[in-house]
């Protein structure tokens, strides 16, 4: 059993963490749910869906060292560039930290500083952090005290293309991703305001999105591949649909490729391989930690694979809880067994 803290608990990812943790059989207590803005307010005021799960838990703003001393594991669901100021104190207190920001995802601190435009405040911790994609780094996750939870776009992209890259089937992968507006966070903006985006589909940062170097880093560990990525804002609340176009000289039949994916992800509890030609559907993964992968087309030097995830679950909080399960030796699916919604 573990005592848990959630730093930055008032946002969407914080709320999702609390939702998954509420019925986790190995969670003794969520002792801290922090928010400076809502300090002293009941947690259910920000997350009404959790009224019965946390009737007495209030938002608080204690010192990070205190949180680290009182908790076995702390999730940091704070903005990029903010986590690196907090995480050293949490680790000093003795907690395992699972960080949902980008601050510790990069093997090379200079890459982070270039893409995020700040000097890293704790570069020495980057060497200790493990990229928290269990399907690729499970063994390393088991033995680290700092887990860098992947970005939502990279999760769907990497899982869609990893078998292609590791088996040397493609030389180039072009990712086309569509995300719901919840990926922008709980704070309203002009771009994500419902009347502005409800009947629109908009590409943004088409060649230089911050998640591009993250995808390149992880796929580059699997093979020599050129990677391109363009995200789009879609008129839906949650979910990411990613289409991966793999280009290469290797020819393979669709059924053979599907079998390769089935074998590659054999034993992975949260990756489901669709039938050939079956479209991964966002409603099938909404609210869950699943990533559904489908093989669309093979031929003429081109392979098309698609993936579907919930950006707030497998793309953030669900994956963070999965990482906790791996790190502490719990059943990996604990607290994450809920099926998707339909319709």
Segment 286-323, tens digit of pLDDT: 999 999 999 987 888 999 999 999 999 999 999 999 99
Which residues neighbour 122 within 8 Å (Cβ) at sequence distance 6 or greater?
84, 87, 88, 103
Task: Return the domain boundaries, the chain.
Answer: 2-128, 152-310
Alpha-carbon span 98 to 74, nearest angstrom: 6
Q: What integer pLDDT is reported at residue 190 of this predicted model?
A: 74
| pLDDT above 90 (res 191) | no
Given pLDDT bands bounded at 50, 70 and 90, which one contains residue 189?
confident
What is the pTM for the complete model shown? 0.96
Given pLDDT bands bounded at 50, 70 and 90, which one contains residue 132?
very high
* In the block, residue with structure tokens 């939870």: 149
Mean pLDDT is highest, among 97-106, 202-211, 296-305, for 97-106
Residues recorded for the chain: 343
Sign of CA dihedral 122, 231, 162, 272: positive
- Cross-strand bridge partners of residue 75: 6, 98
| pLDDT above 80 (res 192) | no
End-to-end CA distance of the chain: 35
CATH number belonging to domain 152-310 = 3.30.360.10
The pLDDT tens digits for 1-52 are 999 999 999 999 999 999 999 999 999 999 999 999 999 999 999 999 999 9
68: buried, middle or exposed (CB in 10 Å: 19+, 13-18, 0-12)? Answer: buried
At the topology level, CATH places domain 2-128 in Rossmann fold (3.40.50)
Given pLDDT bands bounded at 50, 70 and 90, which one contains residue 232?
very high
Residues labelled catalytic: 152
């Amino acid at each position: 059993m573990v005592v848990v803290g959630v730093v930055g608990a008032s946002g969407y990812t914080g709320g999702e963490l609390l939702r998954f943790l509420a019925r986790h059989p190995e969670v003794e207590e969520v002792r801290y749910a922090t928010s400076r803005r809502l300090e002293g307010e009941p947690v259910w005021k920000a997350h009404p869906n959790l009224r019965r799960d946390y009737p007495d838990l209030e938002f608080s703003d204690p010192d990070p060292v205190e949180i680290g001393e009182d908790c076995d594991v702390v999730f940091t669901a704070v903005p990029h560039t903010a986590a690196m100021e907090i995480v050293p104190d949490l680790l000093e207190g003795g907690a395992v930290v699972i960080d949902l920001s980008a601050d510790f995802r990069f093997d090379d601190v200079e890459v982070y500083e270039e893409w995020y435009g700040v000097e890293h405040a704790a570069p020495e911790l980057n060497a200790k952090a493990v990229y928290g994609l269990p399907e690729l780094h499970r063994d390393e996750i088991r033995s680290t005290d700092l887990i860098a939870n992947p970005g939502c776009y990279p999760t769907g992209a990497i899982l869609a293309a990893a078998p292609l890259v590791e088996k040397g089937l493609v030389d180039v992968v072009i990712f086309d991703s569509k995300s719901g507006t919840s990926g922008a966070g709980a704070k309203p903006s002009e771009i994500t305001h419902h009347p502005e985006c409800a009947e629109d589909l908009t590409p943004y940062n088409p060649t230089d999105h911050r998640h591009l170097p993250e995808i390149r880093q992880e796929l580059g560990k699997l093979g020599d591949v050129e990677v391109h990525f363009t995200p789009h804002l879609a008129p839906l609340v949650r979910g990411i649909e990613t289409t991966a176009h793999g280009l290469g000289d290797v020819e393979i039949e669709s059924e053979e490729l599907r079998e390769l994916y089935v074998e590659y992800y054999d034993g992975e509890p949260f990756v489901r391989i669709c039938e050939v030609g079956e479209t991964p559907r966002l409603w099938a993964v909404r609210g869950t930690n699943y990533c559904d992968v489908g093989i669309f087309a093979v031929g003429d030097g081109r392979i098309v694979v698609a993936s579907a995830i919930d950006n707030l679950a497998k793309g953030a909080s669900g994956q963070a809880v999965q990482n906790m399960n791996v790190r502490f030796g719990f059943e990996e699916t604990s607290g994450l067994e809920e099926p998707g919604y339909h319709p």
